[in-house]
Structure 1
Amino acid sequence: MAAAMKKLVAVFTAAFLATTVAGAQTHHVVGGDRGWDVDSNIGSWSAGRKFRVGDKIWFAYSMAQGKIVELQSKKEYEACDVSNFIKMYTDGIDIVPLNGEGIRYFASSKPESCKKGLKLHVQVEAQAQAQDQNQAQHKAQMKTTGVETTNDVSDGDSAAAPPTPSASSPPLTAMSYLTLTFLPFTLYLSYWII
């Protein structure tokens, strides 16, 4: 019975960890602390941000800013032509999943707010492509700080020192938090059950 329980706990732990790695996603709160607001400088907030398939963007806004519309084209986005939208978000807190690659355009339903900068375009990349770009940026940053890294160890005698964490390190994802929360609990249970 104890051997079967050990196998069961091992299978659940492995499945949980595999799901965590495969299901990693980032939740982007548009505008940061200020949310979807004319004063939050959405363009500056989105600059340099990587959006990947599987991520979610959160819009938190007041009705004074207008509703949020998803537009069909770059032309409509640049002109703040919100009359021919694809979808309208009206809840005040809207979560938009990024399910496919490509460019998506969002704007305030009020043209005057859109013209003041209350709009967002999102370039959604594939998971692998975004990770490759993040690794390249990290390597470039390490070279500018004087830290060289390599994946090859020629004779097994020495390796480069691990890089120090930087301010550009990606934040923990929701699944990472769940892993950090529930893994110790699972291990605790497996200790007492077995």
Structure 2
Amino acid sequence: MPAAPESRQRGFSLLEVLIAMFVLLVGLLALAGLQARTLIQTRDAELRTLVALQAESLAEAMRANPLRQRDASGGTTLSWEHYVESGYASHDASAPADTCRTAAGCSQQNLAALDLWTFKSGLADGLAAGNAFKAAVCRGSSAPTLADAGCAASGPLSIRVVWSSRLDAKSRRAEAAGGLRSASEAASALVENRYVLVFEP
């Protein structure tokens, strides 16, 4: 009677364990990268929402404080020229002297200055450190940048906000391929985001 074959104990070799650990590590690194991108995109969405809310709030304040003027036919025309700025440096960051908290003596110009300061202070508080921003209310048709508000003597009156944020290389390449950013913008980790609310056509 032939002898029974020896049963060989089978198990994982060291090489198999190392390969399994490598595959697991690659998966974890991909997951970490995805989570980081998701956090950046969520933060960008929060910032865009904050900017939109602040701009809408300023637009409502402007609608409540128009300058009323008589035209040649005796009708009333509305103007918001007391809100119009020539660029980013038109108003400094200090609070206006007249806070309009008392009923007496607050002119429409004082109220406009307070509205603009409240708008820019809200942006500064919400965007926080690391996100440079510029904001202006002016006429113009060109797109604003951090360097230039794009203000002009004519064009629609609009509330313009530009801020910087970090974007990973993969997202920058995707936005450049989709035409959302230029090649020069896609080369830098800091990208400019724009929000323009047209107030008056």
- TM-score normalised by length of structure 1: 0.28
TM-score of the superposition, structure 2-length normalised? 0.27
Higher relative contact order (CA 8 A, sep 6+): 1
